[in-house]
Amino acid sequence: MTTARGSAGPRGPGVRSDCWISVELQERGGIELNVRSKVEVLYGASIRQQLLDGLRALEVEHARVEMEDAGALPYVIDARLETAVRRALPDLERELLPPLRIAPSATARDRFRRSRLYLPGNTPKLMVNAGLHGPDAVILDLEDAVAPAEKDAARCVVRNTLRVIDFLGAERMVRINQGERGLDDLNWIVPHGVQLVLIPKVESGAQVRAVASRVADLCATVRRQEPVWLMPIIESAMGALKALEIATAHPSVTSLAIGLEDYTADLGVQRTNQGSESFWMRSQVVNAARAAGVQPIDTVFSDVADEEGLRASVLEARSLGFEGKGCIHPRQIRVVHQALAPTADEVGKARKIVLAFEEAERQGLGVVSLGSKMIDPPVVKRALHTVQLAIATGTLTPTWREA
Amino acid sequence: MSEMIRNAAGRMVPTHVNGEPVVPFQGVGKYQPQGRKAGPPIPTAADFPADGDKRVATLKEALVRAGLRDGMTVSTHHHFRDGDLVANQVFDAAAELGVRDLRWFPSAAFPCHRPILEHMKRGVVRWIEGSLNGPLGDYASKGQMNGVAVLRSHGGRWQAIQDGEVHVDIAVIAAPTADAFGNATGDRGPSACGSLNFALADSQYADKVIVVTDNLVPFPCTPWQIQGNNVDAVVVMDQVGVPAKIISGTTQITKSPDRLLIAELTARFIRATSLYRPGFSMQAGAGGTALATAIYLKEYMREDGVTAAFMRGGSTKYLVEMLEEGLIGAILDGQTFDLEGVRSMRENPRHVATSPFTSYNYHGKGNFASIVDFVVLGATEVDVDFNANVVTHSDGRMLHGIGGWQNCLTAKVTILPIPSMRDRIPVLVDEVTTLVGPGELIDVIVTERGVAINPRRQDLIDQATAAGMPVRSIQEIKAEVEALCGGKPAKPRLTDEVIGVVKWVDGTVIDTIYRVDTDK
């Protein structure tokens, strides 16, 4: 008798909100469950039923199933079960989709993307509360934060997370892998409500178009209406030189992001805190992004404990023209938002310009003027942005006109 | 087995506990005690050395002289928390003397007291009456203890001794510094641990009082926390406790981003209320989230130029920093949680050691707890009527003591910052497994998913809403959590075997703890 076996998920004493599941396929005998759960009293019966239902959905009739559960939520159990079965049966066609809780929705192309909280794709315990910390976006990461052997497991977790977890208005981003694997990643996320895809290590417009084309095919297949935005990441010398080509490669590109670890390695230099080695590249990306009408977005600041260092880094990025920063810990979100907030002086000027603009509109005037000065349309646009930013940061109330 | 009756909270409770009749809970503030306080026998100075030297060579000899015999009640105290070295020696000595069936009446038991399990198995100790944590809680949970666990608050322990519910035959008090007359203090000496005041009731009401010290100083030991006039004997030994172990895991600031979020919301809530004003007062216990709340609040106080008249606690270095910075006028300290707290108590006259009598005892002429504006506490479960549980988990197992928790509920605003779920365990439930605190005394639940305010407190709802706090109904947060967790959790299967009772602050029985079906 030949048996195939697959297992998925972490096990051991340190595990929380996750589970390990092993599936050993049998030729007869039905399903045999052996479940050890930290929440046995509260959800033991429900967990067993879920496993039976999941195996039926995956058309597994005979198997020995073992589970060590450290309080995994149901959508995580589904992901681990599917991965375990898939590892036993690599050609499995069926999927085990948890019921959709998050209705697909569109995000605005030019919405704020000040903070993007990175969440490792195979670590579900970090996802459930991520939206509560108020980032502009979450990035479910399939690339660097996932070990090569766990890429398949992370796809299941990320897909189920997109379907189930409410990020409370944060834009739902996924960073896919490089190359062909990245294109395959799209199958797992585009039908399930991803709003923006980060493409790593982009060095040509063709790479962006390949992703856009696969996205378009998938959208057509599943009749998805909402846009899937793209954010290419520039993290090599070649990428830096082609920044404008990349930014203008496809209309779904909303932003250009940078990655400095790979970039400095490519240059053969050390990455420093003051960052003179990447100054040209960062300015090049900001210029390319602005020329293409997309947002320039800075990389992450990796010392979580160093709040002052983060603040200085964001202020420097802002002075170069960047509009956003990557975050690797929820504690960084507020610092980023504060550092990107307009100053009281900037807000004061912007308010005057916006009021003058609205007054001119009311009077049907084609020209906006403030005192004796004429105000150009780009200045008005900038002022509107400043006011919105101040409202988003909480330094200006939405009803400021009445005050 | 005792008869069961329904108390005023709707809970079934026994009429007798360990053979003694008990009063069922009658509602908050409803039970009117009768009679006079208990008292020890009248001693005479004629029986004690005129030179004041009460030293006895060994603990064993002191126990013999105190008349230790079968069936007695012996108390020890938890000012060293998990670093206590004396309680185990008391029962080792009792075992050597062949004494049996003792009742151990600690102010709290810790994992370091695991050896007492052996004494229980061998019959030296018959049962433990006091907060049961760690392995002892586990043992009692499984119904293996002879006798029912009686869980009391710190104030309830004073009340029980004072009212004569529990008669202490012999109290053994571990003292970091003492003189030969028995005057003792915890704020100095090589084993300094802070306040000894959990032992104060025992020193006043026990028949016999033994002070054990590793730092004997010439008479007079001043200032004293325990008065030598109440002490029968003084024993000197090498070491009475490990002060480093008063720092438990619960006195570290949380690093969890979700807990920090809860702490920040709690501090913002306090700031949003009308009671947050110059001269306000607060109690923030140990526990990472409560500590983090104090840190956020400190920033707001600095920003707003608001100082507090006093803070009660569990003192830690964070509270001491606020005292020394002038942000708070005084620390009223019930229990010292780290060595900075010990130092401050010794050096700073505005850092005052308080006792369960002054702070908590409900059968007194008032107490400090109800004077406090804000109290920040934890809980294992809260139900939709704001009733809370701190002694059992949702799976029915008894795992925690009450501490001062029940006593603190009389503060003007009682706030429980708690996560709405722990892994897959919903914390907000339809009905608490064990009722420890009645919902009418619990005002605010702060979770990472929003702030639920008791509908009885429209004033707080208005103030928090006006400040833009995320105010939500407790039902709404609970429904959100249940949706994530996959529905309502099943109830633990409990037997009808009573393994413990929970006393309310007035000595009445508020709820019953049953053995879990799968245990034993």
Question: Residue B249: what pLDDT?
Answer: 54
Instruction: Kindly state whether residues A194 and A68 are assigned to the same domain.
Output: no
Interface test mutation site (partner A, options B253, B395, B398, B424, max chain A beta carbons within 10 A): B424
Q: Which residue of B has its CA nearest to A45?
A: B490
Is B423 in contact with A45 (Cβ distance < 8 A)?
no
Our CA-based measurement puts residue A302 at a distance from the nearest CA of chain B, in whole angstroms, of 16
Is A46 in contact with B396 (Cβ distance < 8 A)?
no
Instruction: Kindly state whether residues B355 and B379 are assigned to the same domain.
Output: yes
Instruction: Kindly state whether residues A280 and A246 are assigned to the same domain.
Output: yes
Instruction: Kindly state whether residues A199 and A147 are assigned to the same domain.
Output: yes
Instruction: Kindly state whether residues A214 and A322 are assigned to the same domain.
Output: yes
Instruction: Kindly state whether residues B336 and B429 are assigned to the same domain.
Output: yes
Is A72 in contact with B424 (Cβ distance < 8 A)?
yes
Overall residue count recorded for chain B in this entry? 520
Q: State the Cα–Cα distance between residues B380 and B391, nearest whole angstrom.
A: 8
Please check whether residue B394 lies inside any domain of the structure: yes
Instruction: Kindly state whether residues A62 and A179 are assigned to the same domain.
Output: no
Is A39 in contact with B424 (Cβ distance < 8 A)?
yes
Instruction: Kindly state whether residues A363 and A249 are assigned to the same domain.
Output: no
Last residue of a domain, one of A340, A355, A373: A340
Please check whether residue A387 lies inside any domain of the structure: yes
Number of domains composing chain A: 3
Instruction: Kindly state whether residues A271 and A286 are assigned to the same domain.
Output: yes
First to last CA, chain B: 18
Instruction: Kindly state whether residues A388 and A324 are assigned to the same domain.
Output: no
Is A74 in contact with B395 (Cβ distance < 8 A)?
no
Our CA-based measurement puts residue A279 at a distance from the nearest CA of chain B, in whole angstroms, of 33
Overall residue count recorded for chain A in this entry? 403
A50 Cβ under 8 Å from any chain B Cβ: yes
Is A132 in contact with B484 (Cβ distance < 8 A)?
no
Is A41 in contact with B486 (Cβ distance < 8 A)?
no
Last residue of a domain, one of A41, A70, A88: A88
Instruction: Kindly state whether residues B125 and B260 are assigned to the same domain.
Output: no
Using CB atoms, pick whichever of B257, B449, B487 lies closest to residue A46. B487
Is B258 in contact with A129 (Cβ distance < 8 A)?
yes
CATH code, A327: 3.20.20.60
The per-residue b/e assignment along B155-184, b for 16 or more CB within 10 angstroms, e otherwise, is bbbbbbbbbebbbbbbbbbbbbbbbbbbbb
> Beta strands A19-25 and A5-8: pairing type?
antiparallel
The strands making up B494-503's β-sheet, listed across from edge to edge, are B149-151, B494-503, B509-516
Q: Give me the interface pTM, i.e. the ipTM.
A: 0.90
Please check whether residue B292 lies inside any domain of the structure: yes
Instruction: Kindly state whether residues B464 and B336 are assigned to the same domain.
Output: yes
Neighbours of A84 (CB within 10 A): 28
Is A42 in contact with B448 (Cβ distance < 8 A)?
no
Chain A positions in Cβ-Cβ contact with residue B425 (cut-off 8 Å): 39, 42, 71
The token pair at A275 is 């960052």
Our CA-based measurement puts residue A275 at a distance from the nearest CA of chain B, in whole angstroms, of 29
CB of A298 within 8 A of CB of A326? Answer: yes
Per-residue 3-state assignment (H helix, E strand, C coil) for A320-369: HCCCEEEECCCHHHHHHHHHHCCCHHHHHHHHHHHHHHHHHHHCCCCCEE
> Beta strands A63-69 and A137-141: pairing type?
unpaired
Please check whether residue A230 lies inside any domain of the structure: yes
- Give 3-state DSSP helix, strand, coil % of chain B, rounded to 5: 30, 25, 45
Q: C-alpha distances in angstroms, B354 versus A306, B187, B196, B411, B460?
A: 39, 13, 9, 17, 30
The token pair at B247 is 């720092």
Please check whether residue B145 lies inside any domain of the structure: no
Instruction: Kindly state whether residues B267 and B241 are assigned to the same domain.
Output: no
Instruction: Kindly state whether residues B212 and B296 are assigned to the same domain.
Output: no
Q: State the Cα–Cα distance between residues B331 and B341, nearest whole angstrom.
A: 10
Question: Residue B520: what pLDDT?
Answer: 47
Please check whether residue A372 lies inside any domain of the structure: yes
The token pair at A366 is 């084609």
Which one, of B164, B157, B168, lies nearest residue B232 by Cα? Answer: B168
Q: C-alpha distances in angstroms, A354 versus A314, A340, A365, B345, B506?
A: 26, 20, 14, 58, 64
Strands (E), A189-281: 196-199, 229-234, 255-258
Please check whether residue B151 lies inside any domain of the structure: no
The structure's pTM equals: 0.92
Average pLDDT, consecutive stretches of 10 residues, N- to C-terminus, chain A (403 residues):
85 95 96 96 96 97 97 98 97 93 91 96 96 97 97 98 96 97 98 98 98 98 96 98 98 97 96 91 98 97 92 96 96 95 91 89 83 85 89 86 75
Instruction: Kindly state whether residues A202 and A78 are assigned to the same domain.
Output: no
State the greatest distance between any 2 C-alpha atoms of chain B, in Å, as a whole number: 73
Question: Residue B1: what pLDDT?
Answer: 63
Average pLDDT, consecutive stretches of 10 residues, N- to C-terminus, chain B (520 residues):
91 95 97 95 97 98 98 96 95 98 94 93 92 80 85 96 97 98 96 94 98 98 96 97 77 82 96 98 84 93 97 89 96 89 94 94 96 95 97 84 94 97 96 96 98 98 96 98 95 90 97 80
Number of domains composing chain B: 2
Interface test mutation site (partner B, options A43, A160, A166, max chain B beta carbons within 10 A): A43
Q: State the Cα–Cα distance between residues B384 and B381, nearest whole angstrom.
A: 10
Q: Which residue of B has its CA nearest to A124?
A: B423
Instruction: Kindly state whether residues A132 and A176 are assigned to the same domain.
Output: yes
Instruction: Kindly state whether residues A245 and A385 are assigned to the same domain.
Output: no
Chain A positions in Cβ-Cβ contact with residue B486 (cut-off 8 Å): 43, 46, 50, 73-74
Please check whether residue A104 lies inside any domain of the structure: no
CATH code, B171: 3.40.1080.10
Instruction: Kindly state whether residues B433 and B381 are assigned to the same domain.
Output: yes
Is B423 in contact with A39 (Cβ distance < 8 A)?
yes
Scan for tokens 């108590």, then name that residue.
B345
Interface test mutation site (partner A, options B264, B423, B494, max chain A beta carbons within 10 A): B423
State the greatest distance between any 2 C-alpha atoms of chain A, in Å, as a whole number: 91
Is A42 in contact with B449 (Cβ distance < 8 A)?
no
CATH code, A70: 3.30.230
Instruction: Kindly state whether residues A373 and A286 are assigned to the same domain.
Output: no
Which one, of B339, B357, B324, B368, lies nearest residue B194 by Cα? Answer: B339
Please check whether residue B83 lies inside any domain of the structure: yes
In three-state secondary structure terms, A6 is strand
- Check the CA dihedral A356-A360-A365-A371 and report its sign: negative
Instruction: Kindly state whether residues B201 and B227 are assigned to the same domain.
Output: yes
Q: Left if phi > 0, otherwise alpha if psi is -120 to 50, otherwise beta: which for B187?
A: alpha
Q: Give CA torsion, residues A189, A193, A199, A200, to 10 deg.
A: -70
Domain hosting A38: range is 5-88
CA angle at residue B320 from B318 to B323, to 5 degrees? 115
Domain hosting B81: range is 54-129+166-246
Contacts of residue B365, Cβ cutoff 8 Å, sequence gap at least 6: none
Which one, of B166, B96, B171, lies nearest residue B129 by Cα? Answer: B166
Residue-wise pLDDT for A65-123, tens only, equals: 999 999 999 999 999 999 999 999 999 999 999 999 998 899 999 999 999 999 999 99
Chain B positions in Cβ-Cβ contact with residue A70 (cut-off 8 Å): 423
Instruction: Kindly state whether residues B292 and B385 are assigned to the same domain.
Output: yes
Q: C-alpha distances in angstroms, A187 versus A176, A199, A354, B427?
A: 11, 15, 44, 37
Instruction: Kindly state whether residues B280 and B405 are assigned to the same domain.
Output: yes
Question: Residue B98: what pLDDT?
Answer: 97
Q: State the Cα–Cα distance between residues B385 and A323, nearest whole angstrom.
A: 46
Our CA-based measurement puts residue B327 at a distance from the nearest CA of chain A, in whole angstroms, of 25
Instruction: Kindly state whether residues B230 and B183 are assigned to the same domain.
Output: yes
Last residue of a domain, one of A294, A321, A340: A340
Is A45 in contact with B490 (Cβ distance < 8 A)?
yes
Using CB atoms, pick whichever of A42, A45, A101 lies closest to residue B394. A42
The strands making up B308-315's β-sheet, listed across from edge to edge, are B351-353, B331-336, B308-315, B280-284, B374-376, B413-417, B444-447, B450-453
A residues 326-365 closer than 8 Å to B (CB)? 329-331
In three-state secondary structure terms, A206 is helix
Instruction: Kindly state whether residues B396 and B485 are assigned to the same domain.
Output: yes
Is B449 in contact with A44 (Cβ distance < 8 A)?
no
Please check whether residue A108 lies inside any domain of the structure: no
